[in-house]
Amino acid sequence: MSLDFSTPLFEVIRDEKKCIQCKVCVKQCSNKVHSYDEEENLVKADDIKCVNCHRCVLLCPTRALSIKKYSLEFRENANWTGQAINEIYKQADTGGVLLTSMGNPKPFPIYWDKMLLNASQVTNPSIDPLREPMETRVMIGRKPDSLEYDKKGKLITQLPPQLELSAPILFSAMSYGSISRNAHESLARAATELGICYNTGEGGLNRDFYKYGPNTIVQVASGRFGVSREYLNAGAAIEIKIGQGAKPGIGGHLPGRKVDEDVSATRMIPIGSDAISPAPHHDIYSIEDLRQLIYSLKETSGYKKPVFVKIAAVHNAAAIASGVVRAGADAVVVDGFRGGTGAAPLRVRDNVGIPIELALAAIDQRLREEGIRNQASLVIAGSVRNSADIVKAIALGADAVYIGSAALLAIGCHMCHSCSTGKCNWGIATQEPELVKRLNPDIMYKRLVNLVTAWNHEIQELIGGMGINAIDSLRGNRLMLRGVGLNEKELEILGIKHAGE
């Protein structure tokens, strides 16, 4: 049968006056959109293959290319949108679950954009970070209930292990396998230069990257891929992944074709085999079970490294976080529903989980009420887009934030939502050598360093404006936030006043 209901999403526009038939687009498009017709000396495009990744647009030496939405109208219907209809066609065609990538794109409220920051005027004067010292360093880990000093003023209390970060930013867990070796190298080198950390994700740690250990967080997830005593001791902290914001309740699946020799060695699985991470950890059915895993990891690493537990922001996140802290985690990571992923079922991505802002406020509030907020750091993830989001997160109670999508954008991601195809034209979400090559870590790690350096400076300016000279003084300081256009309930959960109050 040749009847196919799929229609192009994008249209490639080529200005023939500018096209020089250099074929750069032909050579660069891994989706084979462009082709050269020798007979007519024309470069042509097959729109249906285009994912709008901009690779050709940016590399075209004469700027002859642009991409537009394919102008095909469905009969106007607020309920049955073009997308909804297309999804039906696709599933009727394949009989399968719709797979997609990146974070929830639906127009749910973005609370970051409904909160505004304070600034000092007259009293408690603002501070200029270019003139005065400013502290953005944070320590992630359990803090003791009280501190004891000897007569000479020396600290007697033994401090639990702490992870020092020069800025309240970490690179999110993205496994080697889901992203390329060069992408990993860029993240690792940038983290090292910046004095922050990147996270291995559930893909193990390649031998070649052990040298970045002091700036690495090693992850243990339900598939336990790549986990060994050496691995657990290779990083600066260990993270147990229970859930992920983009697909709470769902496991992971790295297709066998992405498991090449190097990935196989890193994950400790046979070449070409599918790497399936189950939805739950099969040895964790209770907080007590989680405590066992936390302590076995602490035991293995000699109680020298903080152990993080990452959960997805779901309805009863606050209660779960409380359990996680009581289970002995040194940090709780909460990942909101807009967090990205390499591959997730579309229905899950778009319909499961809650906004990170609300989860964060609720968790911080709950831990305070229970008097255990000091027992663990709180790290949030799930679409932190800029430095203001970070400042707002810290004011709501976070210690630090993970950035994933933003980091990928810095190294070339164009949010084309096609990670799961493995044909990433920017060399990020792919294992094909000629595509991986496109991501030059020498160039890209500097872009990550630039991004975090810029954000860190902006954070200093924002908190300096509030008259605060250390990030620690902002943490949980919700008076620095005011809501705009929020209802009473939302303000109550966020624990903030409305603007003007």
Partner 1 sequence: MKKVYAFENRCLGCGICEVYCKTAHSKSKDVIKANKNENVTSAIVIEEILQPKAISYFALQCRHCADAKCVKACISGAMYKDENGIVRNKEEKCVCCLSCLLVCPFGAVKKSKKGKTVSKCDLCIEVGEPQCVLHCPNDAIKVLDDKEAEALK
Q: Does 228 bind partner 1 (CB under 8 A)?
A: no
Provide the minimum distance between the beta carbon of 185 and partner 1 in the complex, in angstroms, as a whole number.
Answer: 12
Smaller CB separation from partner 1, 29 or 401 = 29
Q: In the chain, count of helices (H) and strands (E)?
A: 15, 21
Identify the CA nearest to 429 among candidates 450, 452, 404. Answer: 404
Question: Chain centroid to CA 117: how far?
Answer: 24
Smaller CB separation from partner 1, 106 or 437 = 437
For 268, 368, 389, the CA distances from 86, given in Å and listed in that order, are 39, 47, 34
Smaller CB separation from partner 1, 326 or 423 = 423
Provide the minimum distance between the beta carbon of 340 and partner 1 in the complex, in angstroms, as a whole number.
Answer: 25
Span interacting with partner 1, options 44-52, 281-289, 434-442, 490-498, rule CB under 8 A: 434-442
Span interacting with partner 1, options 6-14, 15-23, 191-199, 248-256, rule CB under 8 A: 15-23
Q: Does 13 bind partner 1 (CB under 8 A)?
A: no
Q: Does 386 bind partner 1 (CB under 8 A)?
A: no
Provide the minimum distance between the beta carbon of 212 and partner 1 in the complex, in angstroms, as a whole number.
Answer: 20
Q: Does 257 bind partner 1 (CB under 8 A)?
A: no
Type and span of the H or E element at 276: strand 275-277
Smaller CB separation from partner 1, 369 or 442 = 442
How many other CB atoms sit within 10 Å of the CB of residue 152?
Answer: 5
Identify the CA nearest to 210 among candidates 184, 231, 183. Answer: 231
Smaller CB separation from partner 1, 222 or 431 = 431
Provide the minimum distance between the beta carbon of 272 and partner 1 in the complex, in angstroms, as a whole number.
Answer: 14
Span interacting with partner 1, options 44-52, 366-374, 440-448, 464-472, rule CB under 8 A: 440-448
Give the one residue of 68, 315, 437, 497 binding partner 1; rule: CB under 8 A.
437
Give the one residue of 189, 366, 438, 482 binding partner 1; rule: CB under 8 A.
438
For residues 134 and 460, the answer to whether their CB atoms sit within 8 Å is: yes
Q: Does 22 bind partner 1 (CB under 8 A)?
A: yes
Q: Which amino acid is at 8?
A: P
Span interacting with partner 1, options 19-27, 122-130, 196-204, 357-365, rule CB under 8 A: 19-27
Span interacting with partner 1, options 139-147, 224-232, 432-440, 484-492, rule CB under 8 A: 432-440
Dist. CA 347–CA 248, nearest whole Å: 11
Provide the minimum distance between the beta carbon of 431 and partner 1 in the complex, in angstroms, as a whole number.
Answer: 10
Q: Does 432 bind partner 1 (CB under 8 A)?
A: yes
Question: Chain centroid to CA 439: how far?
Answer: 19
Take residue 338 and report the two structure tokens written for it: 């807009």
Q: Does 83 bind partner 1 (CB under 8 A)?
A: no
Give the one residue of 5, 7, 20, 42 binding partner 1; rule: CB under 8 A.
20
Q: Which amino acid is at 206?
A: N
Provide the minimum distance between the beta carbon of 439 and partner 1 in the complex, in angstroms, as a whole number.
Answer: 9
Take residue 397 and report the two structure tokens written for it: 């109670």
Give the one residue of 208, 288, 442, 492 binding partner 1; rule: CB under 8 A.
442
Q: Does 18 bind partner 1 (CB under 8 A)?
A: yes
Residues contacting 171, CB < 8 A, separation 6+: 187, 190, 191, 196, 197, 198, 199, 402, 403, 404, 407, 448
Cα dihedral 160/207/275/182 (nearest 10): 100
Match 């046979």 to its residue by tokens.
Answer: 270
Dist. CA 197–CA 21, nearest whole Å: 44
Q: Does 24 bind partner 1 (CB under 8 A)?
A: yes
Span interacting with partner 1, options 230-238, 241-249, 321-329, 439-447, rule CB under 8 A: 439-447
The interface with partner 1 within residues 58-77 (CB under 8 A) comprises 59, 61-62
Provide the minimum distance between the beta carbon of 433 and partner 1 in the complex, in angstroms, as a whole number.
Answer: 4
Span interacting with partner 1, options 32-40, 88-96, 116-124, 438-446, rule CB under 8 A: 438-446
Query: Residue 409 — left, alpha, or beta (φ > 0 → left; ψ -120 to 50 → alpha)?
Result: alpha
DSSP 412: T
Q: Does 57 bind partner 1 (CB under 8 A)?
A: no
How many other CB atoms sit within 10 Å of the CB of residue 416?
Answer: 21
Burial class (CB in 10 A: 0-12, 13-18, 19+), 443: exposed
Dist. CA 240–CA 394, nearest whole Å: 23
Provide the minimum distance between the beta carbon of 13 and partner 1 in the complex, in angstroms, as a whole number.
Answer: 17
For 222, 251, 279, 325, 357, the CA distances from 282, given in Å and listed in that order, are 7, 12, 9, 21, 30
Give the one residue of 5, 27, 81, 108 binding partner 1; rule: CB under 8 A.
27
Strand segments, DSSP code E, in 118-162 are 138-140
Take residue 183 and report the two structure tokens written for it: 């992408």
Identify the CA nearest to 219 among candidates 235, 196, 195. Answer: 235
Q: Does 23 bind partner 1 (CB under 8 A)?
A: yes
Smaller CB separation from partner 1, 18 or 304 = 18
- Where does this chain bind partner 1 (CB under 8 A)? 17-18, 20-24, 27-28, 59, 61-62, 432-434, 437-438, 440, 442-443
